A and B are shown apart, each in its own frame.
Chain A
């Protein structure tokens, strides 16, 4: 069953794959992201990170508020290259 539950829809990562990586000792969201790519796809982890945090919390027996989330990075939603290319940002916005 767990091999049929897709947790990260962008990169098509199943619950089974996530559990396997945690069992190998990778017990942070940052590491799971780097190994499986969940959180690196189109949605940038907005769908999957909370679910993975819950699995991690359950398996490592620590409260969910102790789980550290990967950095959220701009842009907030995907923006086409040609749209971004129209804007000039000056030094003061660095």
Chain B
């Protein structure tokens, strides 16, 4: 049988691009099939935050590695990716939230993450103009940061092309052929058949649909999340500001451009594939931003849009091989795909080429019990 590639990756977001890059470095012939264009799904709609402040040990370990990779990507690509270590500041406005953060810090300290709980005065030092009303302090980690999702993803994709791999845009997979429980080929909507012994599902919001093509039920449900971006201005503060109150929000000043960019998690959540922007968000988000940092009030909002968080039942990704031989999944990123992407790409490439990854990914297994939820969400 003819072979088109060593591996077919479905989806040219950060997960497909990073995994493809580390596979190509391992001398594998990579073919990426992308139904629209790179970053058209969730990666290009995210706000680019990168943090290590999690409570799940595996998420922390993945993020320690991702931050290390982000900090050297500029050298790796020979191109700017706008990585900036400006930190994350999680604000506590209730004793409850403060305790959640203190417990999280206890866990994070075990992994040498330089995170600490700081006083309201310290918060005001770091974020000039922050509204101190009701503020009990915040969990601050200066080594968290941000990068440009487009620059990172296109950097990986350019690398793949340089190493002889191929990216086909406007190429949607319609069918996956399996014989005797083994991956054979992917067939696209324009009736082209591409043969490879391995297929990686990196389809983000469409991961469940791709799973169904091999009769695999992947517990991933996209939820709509919206964003706004303001005009650019001089640098006002460094960290991503996170307010996890039910009517809170999170936003960051883009290091490369000076725009403020932010979003919030809707209550109740908003499941489904609809990613149209709403007028409700266009007025609600500015209200929440202005409450947190009133002096942002004069900045103009220039654009709003929406995207998907691909949620799993426990808020952690699914990164695993599957009962179908040659079919792998790196899906259900729960809104953290961009920051998890570089490290998960590296570990998934190890799993595919060596049969196991240098960091055991058991807690992200497809058949896990999905019990305990991530507290830092």
Chain A contacts to B: CB under 8 angstroms: 28, 30-31, 34-35, 37, 40-42, 44, 71, 73-75, 78-82, 84-91, 93-94
How far is it, in angstroms, between the C-alpha of A94 and the C-alpha of B40 when the chains are bound? Answer: 23
Q: How far is the CB of A88 from chain B (nearest CB, A)?
A: 7
Residues of B near A90 (CB, < 8 A) are 280
Pick from B278, B296, B297, B302: contact of A44, CB under 8 Å: B302
How far is it, in angstroms, between the C-alpha of A30 and the C-alpha of B40 when the chains are bound? Answer: 9
* A73 touching B297, Cβ below 8 Å: no
Residues of B near A79 (CB, < 8 A) are 300-301
Residues of B near A40 (CB, < 8 A) are 229, 303
Residues of B near A42 (CB, < 8 A) are 231, 302
Contact residues, B281-310 vs A (CB, 8 A): 282-284, 286-287, 289-290, 296-305
How far is it, in angstroms, between the C-alpha of A20 and the C-alpha of B287 when the chains are bound? Answer: 41
* A74 touching B282, Cβ below 8 Å: yes
How far is it, in angstroms, between the C-alpha of A80 and the C-alpha of B38 when the chains are bound? Answer: 32
Residues of B near A86 (CB, < 8 A) are 283
Take A34-B39, A89-B280 as given contacts and tell me if A78 and B231 are in contact as well, using a CB distance cutoff of 8 Å.
Answer: yes
* A89 touching B284, Cβ below 8 Å: yes
Which residue on B lies nearest to A72, using beta carbons?
A: B303
How far is it, in angstroms, between the C-alpha of A73 and the C-alpha of B227 when the chains are bound? Answer: 11
How far is it, in angstroms, between the C-alpha of A16 and the C-alpha of B249 when the chains are bound? Answer: 40
- In the complex, 22 of the A-B residue pairs with CB atoms within 8 angstroms, ordered by the A residue number, are A30-B37, A30-B40, A31-B38, A34-B39, A34-B154, A35-B154, A42-B302, A73-B304, A73-B305, A74-B277, A74-B279, A78-B301, A79-B301, A80-B298, A80-B300, A81-B286, A81-B299, A81-B300, A89-B280, A90-B280, A94-B278, A94-B279
Chain B contacts to A: CB under 8 angstroms: 37-40, 44, 150, 154, 229-232, 257, 277-280, 282-284, 286-287, 289-290, 296-305
Counting chain A CB atoms within 10 Å of each CB, the highest count among B39, B283, B297 belongs to B283
* A93 touching B300, Cβ below 8 Å: no
* A85 touching B280, Cβ below 8 Å: no
Which residue on B lies nearest to A78, using beta carbons?
A: B300
Q: How far is the CB of B259 from chain A (nearest CB, A)?
A: 8
Which residue on A lies nearest to B149, using beta carbons?
A: A34
Residues of B near A73 (CB, < 8 A) are 277, 303-305
Pick from A35, A71, A78, A94: contact of B280, CB under 8 Å: A94
Q: How far is the CB of B17 from chain A (nearest CB, A)?
A: 13
Q: How far is the CB of A47 from chain B (nearest CB, A)?
A: 13
How far is it, in angstroms, between the C-alpha of A88 and the C-alpha of B247 when the chains are bound? Answer: 14
* B257 touching A37, Cβ below 8 Å: yes
Q: How far is the CB of A79 from chain B (nearest CB, A)?
A: 6
How far is it, in angstroms, between the C-alpha of A87 and the C-alpha of B284 when the chains are bound? Answer: 8
Residues of B near A82 (CB, < 8 A) are 286, 290, 297-298
How far is it, in angstroms, between the C-alpha of A79 and the C-alpha of B305 when the chains are bound? Answer: 15
* B280 touching A84, Cβ below 8 Å: no
Q: How far is the CB of B77 from chain A (nearest CB, A)?
A: 13
* A81 touching B290, Cβ below 8 Å: yes
Q: How far is the CB of B72 from chain A (nearest CB, A)?
A: 22
Pick from B39, B232, B289: contact of A81, CB under 8 Å: B289
How far is it, in angstroms, between the C-alpha of A84 and the C-alpha of B296 when the chains are bound? Answer: 12
* B280 touching A75, Cβ below 8 Å: no
Which residue on A lies nearest to B280, using beta carbons?
A: A89
Counting chain A CB atoms within 10 Å of each CB, the highest count among B154, B278, B280, B302 belongs to B302
Residues of B near A34 (CB, < 8 A) are 38-39, 44, 150, 154
How far is it, in angstroms, between the C-alpha of A76 and the C-alpha of B231 when the chains are bound? Answer: 14
Q: How far is the CB of B286 from chain A (nearest CB, A)?
A: 4
How far is it, in angstroms, between the C-alpha of A58 and the C-alpha of B80 when the chains are bound? Answer: 30
* A93 touching B37, Cβ below 8 Å: no
* B305 touching A31, Cβ below 8 Å: no
- 8 nearest CB pairs, A to B: A82-B297, A78-B300, A84-B286, A85-B287, A81-B286, A89-B280, A87-B283, A34-B150
* B282 touching A75, Cβ below 8 Å: yes
* A81 touching B150, Cβ below 8 Å: no
* A81 touching B231, Cβ below 8 Å: no
Q: How far is the CB of A22 from chain B (nearest CB, A)?
A: 14
How far is it, in angstroms, between the C-alpha of A81 and the C-alpha of B277 when the chains are bound? Answer: 17
How far is it, in angstroms, between the C-alpha of A71 and the C-alpha of B279 when the chains are bound? Answer: 16
Counting chain B CB atoms within 10 Å of each CB, the highest count among A40, A73, A74, A81 belongs to A81
Residues of B near A30 (CB, < 8 A) are 37, 40
How far is it, in angstroms, between the C-alpha of A30 and the C-alpha of B41 when the chains are bound? Answer: 12
